[in-house]
Amino acid sequence: VWRSRWLAILQQYISSEMTFIELEQRLASGGADLSKYGVDGAKTIQDLLAEIRSGFSACVLCDDGKTRRILCTVRIRLSVQHGHHSQILSETEEGRWFETTDQIVKLPLDKMRCGGLEQALEKLWLSSVGLSAEFVNEHFERGVDLVYEEEKKTASYPNLDCVYIVHEIPYWVRDPTAPCCHALGLPEGRSFRVSEGHANGGCKIHVLAWLTLASNPIHQQAKDLRTWLEKSGLDM
């Protein structure tokens, strides 16, 4: 059975009672530059507070003097087989992430509450890829869940170390030639876009692409994809 000290800490410190002043002090004590919050696309302290109060994350001042944001995430790894090589469905990062992490593509992902995997997974499929749970169950084969941890910076909250407890769920397309898969850019492996509507009336565009696990490195394919997106005038 998989065990994580960070998961135990997350469960211990999740609180709906944290105040704005408490969070601000905790961030400042851990060395965060609060002047950068809410600037140039970064989220605000109030955004982080809402996330914490909703049970998605905890913000903990650790023994090494760093403040860390700890949260669970769910990722989809959807693969399709073409002869002797495979392709993985990837999503382009938002522009501000290029400058912070040099990360151009990612697997479709979203944050989740502890113990809320299936609900978060269903929401992720619909919001990021535009697919219902019924479609996924009928046309994709689900593999064994992989759970691991990542610690890295985030563009959303400047200078804040984040620990991600990742639940990566692998899937395989059963029949990429099926007509219902054409909207996913299959079987050719074309890029496509999904529009996600927000409650406030806004809209987010997810740009998704099939990257090949072959001789051409994923990193180079990602650079090629970024060039294509910029030439196409797409907002990332």
What is the pLDDT, as a whole number, of residue 170?
97
Give the pair of three-digit tokens for residue 41.
């696309």
Q: What is the pLDDT of residue 205?
A: 87
Alpha carbons 126 and 193: distance in angstroms, whole number: 13
Which pair of structure tokens corresponds to residue 205?
Answer: 């565009």
C-alpha 177/C-alpha 81 separation (Å) is 11
Of 56, 48, 43, 62, nearest to 19 (Cα)?
Answer: 48
pTM to 2 decimals?
0.82
pLDDT at residue 230, rounded to an integer = 57
Per-run averaged pLDDT (10 residues), the chain, 236 residues:
78 90 94 91 95 95 92 96 86 54 75 94 96 97 94 88 95 96 94 84 86 56 52 48
Q: What is the pLDDT of residue 93?
A: 57
Distance separating alpha carbons of residues 37 and 47, to the nearest angstrom? 10
